[in-house]
Amino acid sequence: MTLGLPGHLARDSLSRALAHAGHCAAWVCLGLGVVVGAIGATVGGDSVGWTGAALCALMALTLLLVARRPTVTWTLLYLVVGTGTVLALTVIVMDPAYRFETTNNVILALPRVALVLVGGAGAGSVLGITWAALGYGLGEAAAFLGAALAGGAWSPNVAAATAFGIVVVVRTFDGVSRRSDSRRETGLHRASQQTRELAIRHDYELRATARLHDTALSHLVAIAAAGSGPVDERLRDGIRQDLGLIVGRDWAIDHGHGPGAGDRAGVARRTDAAGGPDGEGAGTDDAPTLEHAFAAAANAGLDVRMTGDLAVLGLLGRSRAAALDAAVAQCLINVARHADVDEAELAIGYGGGEVTVAVMDSGVGFDESEVPEDRIGLRTSIRARIEQEGGAVRLWSTKGIGTTIVLTVPEGGE
């Protein structure tokens, strides 16, 4: 039984709870001993009753110290005081004047039960049973010695034996059930860890597939658009650096931003909504842009008309902005490859805590349900990449009219 507590807290908490319950029962027994002694002294006129009451009170006080500071020293002191109390009370009670036949009587049961319920230092079922067994053994030994000194008959005390049996059963059940709970908790922890590992593995597989697809496809499109003759040196450098990223350790990181991104991919060729040239790219060096997307479009020979403000990309974390940039780049490459047009429109906006980029073309259009399963551009490089960042992708396409893809990602992120 763990009461819903974590495994590392359940052991100490339950041990303290069981020990406190035992202490309360022991105080009740010792309190009854004090009352019986006081009644015998006041009503019966037997002054020895005060001695018994004082011994029980001393034992209760020592148990209070154990409850407040459950150390080995205080526990051993309580056992010594308790043993002495049982010995003295046995000598007193077994006097022939009181007519008790054996030590198995209610008066001597009170301090002996209190000895069994010592609780003691440490936590755990084994320690609890060990202290209880020590208390039970010392109590019986003291009663045997006291009976021998008083000339009475010794007999095991049923009440003390019952209390010891209850302690053993409760502590054993606690230990067994806690081990079972611990095994279940370990199994759940292992299953949870495996789930996390699978999720991480799936994430990296998607990143790897998208990165390989984007890199290979964008460069093939750029080479095809360049026509015959030598490949532009700038394109060579871009291919060389992207191949370095794929085989390097940081292949799973989106590199659409950062120093040198624009130099590597080439200068974006686009016009704004008014038709004016805007070939240098928007934004500052430390703000997210769509450099990778515009560079991919330029390499593919695609003109892009943009409306909206690139500054809204600054609301995104660098990783989320890079994922959006890569997804938009894939959209533009798809336009260049499949739409049979040489221009596209790009709209950027912000609203409701989300940054939205719409990629539109007036090309041949297509039916998404007819896209083969082995085509991973839309499925992995666009949709899966955006969904990994908590965003959504919506697509409208009509054959002969064109295609619109809307990418939405929430602001913030890493």
* Cα gap 184→124, rounded to integer Å: 19
Per-residue pLDDT tens over the stretch 150-187? 888 998 999 999 999 998 888 888 777 766 555 555 55
What pLDDT does residue 4 have?
46
End-to-end CA, the chain: 42
Q: Are 329 and 282 in contact (CB under 8 A)?
A: no
Cβ neighbours around 146 below 10 Å, total: 22
Alpha helices in 317-401 (DSSP H): 318-338, 385-388
State what percent of residues in the chain have pLDDT above 90: 33
Least confident residue range of 13-22, 156-165, 314-323: 13-22
- Position 182, amino acid: S
Provide the residue ranges of all domains of the chain, joining segments of one domain with +: 7-188, 254-410
**Residue-by-residue DSSP string for 225-258:** HH-SSSPPHHHHHHHHHHHHHHHSTTTTS--SSS
Q: pTM for this structure?
A: 0.46
CATH 3.40.50.1000 describes domain 254-410: no
State what percent of residues in the chain have pLDDT above 70: 69
DSSP letter for 312, please: G
What pLDDT does residue 355 have?
94
Q: What is the chain's percent helix, strand, coil content, to nearest 5? A: 65, 10, 25
Q: Is 229 left (phi over 0), alpha (psi -120 to 50) or beta?
A: left
Least confident residue range of 45-49, 161-165, 214-218, 295-299: 214-218
